[in-house]
Structure 1
Amino acid sequence: MAKDEINAFLGAGTSYHGKLHFHGAVRIDGNFQGEVESDGTLVIGQEAVVEGTLRVGQLVLSGNLRGEVEAGGRVVLHKTANLQGDIRTPVLVVEEGAILEGRLAMSRPGEGADAAGTADGNLF
Structure 2
Amino acid sequence: MLRRDEKEKGAQSDEIIAFLGKGTEFKGIITYSGTVRIDGKVEGEIVTQGKLVVGETAVINAEISAGTVICGGKISGNIRASERIHLLSKAVMTGSVNTPNLIIEEGVSFNGKCQMGQEEASQAEIRPLQAVGHDSNGS
TM tier, smaller = 0.7 to 0.9
Which residue pairs with 1:78 in the alignment?
88
Which residue pairs with 1:114 in the alignment?
121
Amino acid at match of 2:42: F
Which residue pairs with 1:102 in the alignment?
112
| TM-score normalised per structure 2 | 0.77
Query: Between Structure 1 and Structure 2, whose CA radius of gyration is higher?
Result: 2
Give the conservation status (yes or no) of the 8 Å contact 2:18–2:37.
Answer: yes
Runs (5+) with no aligned partner, structure 1? 117-124
Query: How far apart, CA to CA, are the structure 1 residues paired with 2:119 and 2:68?
Result: 16
RMSD value, Cα: 1.5
Return the offset for 1:21: 0.4
Which residue pairs with 1:121 in the alignment?
none
Q: How many residues align?
A: 112
Deviation readout 1:3-32 (Å, 9 max, x if unpaired): 611110000000000000010000000000
Query: How far apart, CA to CA, are the structure 1 residues paired with 2:67 and 2:51?
Result: 6
- Which of 88, 101, 112 aligns to 2:98? It is 88
Which residue pairs with 1:18 in the alignment?
28
Q: State the 4+ residue runs in structure 1 displaced beyond 4 angstroms.
A: none
Which residue pairs with 2:53 in the alignment?
43
Which residue pairs with 2:77 in the alignment?
67
Which residue pairs with 1:120 in the alignment?
none
Q: 1:53 to 1:112 in 2, by over 3 A?
A: closer
Which residue pairs with 2:5 in the alignment?
none
Q: Secondary structure of 2:56's match?
A: coil
| TM-score normalised per structure 1 | 0.86
Q: 1:86 to 1:28 in 2, by over 3 A?
A: same
- Which of 5, 10, 18 aligns to 1:8? It is 18
